Amino acid sequence: MTNTDGSPLPFARVGLLADSLRSAPRLAQADADANGRFAFMTVPDGARFMWIGRIGYAPVIVRLPGSPGDSIVVALEEWRVGQHRRDSVERVRHLARVAIARSRPRHWVCTLGDAVARKRAAAAYLEFVAAEPAMMGKTGIEYDVPKDSAAFVRMFVRPLSGDECRRFVEGYERHSSGFETDTVEVYRFGRALYLPWLGDAGGGFADADGKVLTIFIVPD
């Protein structure tokens, strides 16, 4: 991995993803050394995209090459310049997509299916319960989140009813820039609701009426 002038770009982090969403779990991860070199011993099944990030630079996601030996050319921009431009462009695009979605009748669905929910449950438990005791000391008590993994999964994967879904999304639409589609990825998190991705706002927690309680930037 090199800079545009050909010099090594050291200590970047590289991850393999199944899709191009920033919130997608990493199937594998590697760190470049001082000479910009990195390697994956194996490529997991389902890996289709590669995430590249480094302190001071805006992260990028690119599609993996289709054939062995193919190369990828990626330009990393300094964070403040590149990210500001991308955020501005993406917000305009997001608002345009929301306007199109709002122009037609909508039928809300607050789920992406049991398989996705269980995968999200495992990741959320590791991120917010098992690996973050300090956060659980505050957020877990505040939201009544169970510390037992089995109880957490049962709570997390139980889908919202039709009335709960409608109440949440209508409230969220009033408090935010809105949703682009009718299918919303939202899960139970104790007395709160957990959204792995909130468009241009990162991820977060909201109450049953769609009011955002906590926003966090999805870690890159």
Confidence of residue 133 (pLDDT cuts 50, 70, 90): low
Residue 189 pairs in a beta bridge with 192
Q: Give rounded-to-5 percent helix, strand, coil for the chain.
A: 35, 20, 45
Please state, in angstroms and as integers, the Cα–Cα distance from residue 4 to each residue in 7, 97, 206, following that order: 7, 35, 42
Confidence class of residue 166 from pLDDT cuts 50, 70 and 90?
A: very high
Mean pLDDT value across the chain: 80
Pick from 15-19, 106-110, 178-182, 214-218: least confident = 214-218
Instruction: Report which of residues 81 and 130 the model is more confident about.
Output: 130
pLDDT confidence of residue 139: 55
Sign of the C-alpha dihedral, residues 129, 134, 135, 137? positive
- Contact (Cβ atoms closer than 8 angstroms) between residue 121 and residue 187: yes
pLDDT(181) > 80: yes
User: Is the pLDDT assigned to residue 39 strictly greater than 50?
Assistant: yes
Average pLDDT score over residue span 31-49: 84
Tens of pLDDT, residue by residue over 68-125, are 777 777 777 776 655 566 667 777 887 888 889 889 888 888 888 888 899 889 888 8
Identify the CA nearest to 130 among candidates 147, 150, 106.
Answer: 147
Mean pLDDT over 149-153 rounds to 92
Confidence tier at 187 by pLDDT (50, 70, 90)? very high
Would you put residue 202 in left (φ > 0), alpha (ψ -120 to 50) or beta?
A: left
List Cα–Cα distances, 208 to 58, 164, 185, 188, 195, in angstroms: 34, 7, 14, 10, 12
- Given a cut of 60, is residue 10 above it in pLDDT? yes
pTM of the predicted model as reported, rounded to 2 decimal places: 0.55
Instruction: Report the residue count for the chain.
Output: 220
